[in-house]
């Protein structure tokens, strides 16, 4: 008999009928003799609806009250699932984040889980109940409701699995595993049987929203066996594995991630002397804006252009900040472009193989896709390109590196 934590995403609980299907799946696992803790997201579209609703009450709602409103989505689904289980004769109990004392820090809208009080859950399991915990939410030490960032129910599930020392954490969603790239962009994408934590972490941080990055971090840190599976069809899904040698394929490239959430900001004609990068990025970090990629071009006449990318939600603020320091820096102008995307190749196989970057650039050149920025690390290469080339670039790279289905 195993203890299994399951998470069902928004589409999987999108209607009362689908919640009924989830209840049936949970009961099937119970019948195999397993203890089950389930965490659920809000019904699909609900979190977005609540965010829009909040905006109708205030142009700039506080982060604290945003967490109060968006956390209600998950409260609805836990109750509906517990009811559906009970209606089928399975004892169940639902809990919100604060009820299980999913203790987090106080960073509203991006809180980190610090501790989980598993006593009540363990007690319920011993009584033969299925425990249903609201995803995405927690409570800080001052009893404020917090949320974990978009896609945060994945992290709730992994944190529960770690706290309860579960045998497996199963993330049920609308795809049957982790693919070589988002199957919505490349229909020929292939499901991976296994992917390493390290690769999954890169994929998630480079934009693959199939798993929230913190969920992967947590699973790696606490050694939680993690699997991504389909709610709607049976299958093995994808195992996120610690063991590198274990990944059967040993392909050069495991996957292609992309991120549409970035924007590019450039400050042009800055007198180039030691300290210039710090003088530009200091005010940006003081404004709490996170910077991703950075490129500094050596210009003529002692002037330099300095380009970086930020989250699209932050780029207008970044431009404002730079415009206020422009005169002080002696810079000529500030320009920004929000119609860019970042496309990345990820694979542990890159470590032992040279020439992947040049192959990537050649494939893009053959499609006349201009590269604006490049960054590399041990197991990834990222390029920034115009948004309009996203699909073309992903598909060309997918085919060029032989990632398609056999
Ligand atoms: P849920 O609501 O269940 O959490 P998400 O929408 O957050 O579901 O995540 C599942 C989606 O992630 C898929 O529908 C798919 O379009 C997208 N996705 C992006 N990259 C990948 C990938 N590499 N493999 C599988 N799915 C991916
Ligand atoms: N409901 C939240 C969201 O839409 C959390 C989640 O689905 O994981 O981001
Ligand atoms: Mg998700």
Kindly tell me if the per-residue pLDDT of 246 is higher than 70. Answer: no
52 SS3 class: helix
136 lines ligand 1 (CB under 6 A): no
Average pLDDT score over the chain: 94
Strand partners, 130: 92
150 alpha carbon – ligand 2 mean position (Å): 5
Model pLDDT for residues 52-74, shown as the tens digit of each residue: 999 999 999 999 999 999 999 99
**Rounded CA gap, 197 and 211, in Å?**
11
293 lines ligand 2 (CB under 6 A): no
| Mean pLDDT of all residues in 155-175 | 97
Minimum-distance ligand to the CA of 255? 1
Sorted by sequence, the CB contacts under 8 Å of residue 199 that are 6+ apart come out as: 254, 255, 346, 347, 348, 379
Rg (alpha carbons) of the chain, rounded to whole number: 23
Give the alpha-carbon dihedral of 305, 310, 313, 319, to 10 degrees.
-20
The 8-class DSSP code of residue 138 comes to E
The dihedral sign for the CA sequence 214, 382, 281, 318: negative
pTM: 0.93
209 alpha carbon – ligand 3 mean position (Å): 6
Domains along the chain with CATH numbers: 3-174 (3.40.1160.10), 256-400 (3.30.2130.10)
**Rounded CA gap, 298 and 163, in Å?**
51
If you take atom 1 of ligand 1, which residue's CA is the nearest one?
9
If you take atom 4 of ligand 2, which residue's CA is the nearest one?
47
pLDDT the model gives residue 249 = 52
**Rounded CA gap, 238 and 309, in Å?**
32
Give the alpha-carbon dihedral of 185, 187, 192, 195, to 10 degrees.
-10
| Mean pLDDT of all residues in 231-256 | 81
Model pLDDT for residues 197-207, shown as the tens digit of each residue: 999 999 999 99
Phi and psi dihedrals of 257, rounded to 5?
-110, 155
Ligand 1 pocket test, pick from 158, 169, 173 with the greatest ligand atom count within 8 Å of Cβ, gives 173
Sorted by sequence, the CB contacts under 8 Å of residue 328 that are 6+ apart come out as: none
Model pLDDT for residues 321-375, shown as the tens digit of each residue: 999 999 999 999 999 999 999 999 999 888 878 889 999 999 999 999 999 999 9
Residues of 217-255 as b/e, b for ≥16 C-beta within 10 angstroms? bbbbeeebebbbbbbeeeeebbbbbeeeeebeeebbbbb
Question: Can you spell out the DSSP letters for 257-321?
Answer: EEESSEEEEEEEEEE--TTHHHHHHHHHHHTT--EEEEEEEE-STTEEEEEEEEEGGGHHHHHHH
Structure tokens at 241: 């594995």
**Rounded CA gap, 341 and 146, in Å?**
30
Strand partners, 132: 38, 94
C-alpha closest to that of 155 among 117, 113, 194, 115: 113
Strand partners, 38: 6, 132
pLDDT the model gives residue 45 = 98
390 alpha carbon – ligand 2 mean position (Å): 25
142 alpha carbon – ligand 3 mean position (Å): 28
Which residue bears the tokens 């197991």? 379
Sorted by sequence, the CB contacts under 8 Å of residue 327 that are 6+ apart come out as: none
Q: 349 — alpha (psi -120 to 50), left (phi > 0) or beta?
A: alpha
CA end-to-end distance (rounded Å), the chain: 37
Model pLDDT for residues 176-213, shown as the tens digit of each residue: 999 999 999 999 999 999 999 999 999 999 999 999 99
210 alpha carbon – ligand 3 mean position (Å): 6
Strand partners, 336: 265
Do 7 and 81 contact (CB within 8 A), yes or no? no
């Amino acid at each position: 008999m195993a203890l299994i934590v399951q998470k069902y995403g928004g589409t999987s609980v999108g209607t009362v009928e689908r919640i009924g299907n989830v209840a049936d799946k949970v009961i099937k696992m119970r019948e195999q003799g397993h203890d089950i803790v389930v965490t659920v997201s809000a019904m699909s579209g609900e979190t977005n609806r609540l965010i829009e609703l909040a905006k109708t009450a205030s142009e700039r709602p506080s982060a604290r009250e945003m967490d109060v409103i968006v956390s209600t989505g998950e409260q609805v689904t836990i109750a509906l699932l517990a009811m559906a289980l009970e209606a089928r004769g399975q004892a169940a109990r639902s809990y919100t984040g604060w009820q299980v004392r999913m203790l987090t820090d106080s960073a509203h809208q991006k809180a980190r889980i610090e501790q989980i009080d598993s006593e009540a859950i363990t007690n319920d399991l011993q009584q033969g109940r299925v425990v249903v915990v609201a995803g995405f939410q927690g409570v800080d030490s001052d009893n404020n409701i917090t949320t974990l960032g978009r896609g945060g129910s994945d992290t709730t599930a992994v944190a529960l699995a770690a706290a309860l020392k579960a045998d497996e954490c199963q993330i049920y969603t609308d795809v049957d595993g982790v693919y070589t790239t988002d199957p919505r962009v490349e229909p020929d994408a292939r499901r991976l049987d296994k992917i390493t934590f390290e690769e999954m972490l890169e994929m998630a941080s480079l934009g693959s929203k199939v798993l929230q990055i913190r969920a992967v971090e947590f699973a790696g840190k606490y050694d939680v066996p993690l699997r991504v599976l389909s709610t709607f069809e049976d299958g093995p899904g994808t195992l996120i594995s610690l063991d590198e040698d274990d990944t059967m394929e040993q392909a050069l490239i495991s996957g292609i991630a992309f991120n549409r959430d970035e924007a590019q900001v450039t400050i042009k004609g800055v007198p180039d002397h030691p300290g210039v990068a710090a003088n530009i990025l200091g005010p940006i970090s003081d404004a709490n804006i996170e910077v991703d990629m950075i490129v500094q071009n050596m210009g003529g006449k002692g002037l330099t252009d300095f380009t970086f990318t930020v989250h699209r939600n932050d780029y207008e603020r970044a431009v404002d900040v730079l415009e206020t320091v422009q005169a002080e820096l002696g810079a000529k102008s500030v320009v920004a472009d929000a119609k860019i995307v970042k496309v990345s190749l990820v694979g542990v196989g890159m470590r032992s193989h040279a020439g992947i970057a040049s192959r990537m650039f050649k494939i893009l050149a053959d499609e006349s896709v201009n590269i604006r920025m490049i960054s590399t690390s041990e197991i990834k290469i990222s390029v920034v390109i115009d948004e309009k080339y996203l699909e073309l670039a992903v598909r060309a790279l997918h085919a060029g590196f032989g990632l398609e289905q056999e």
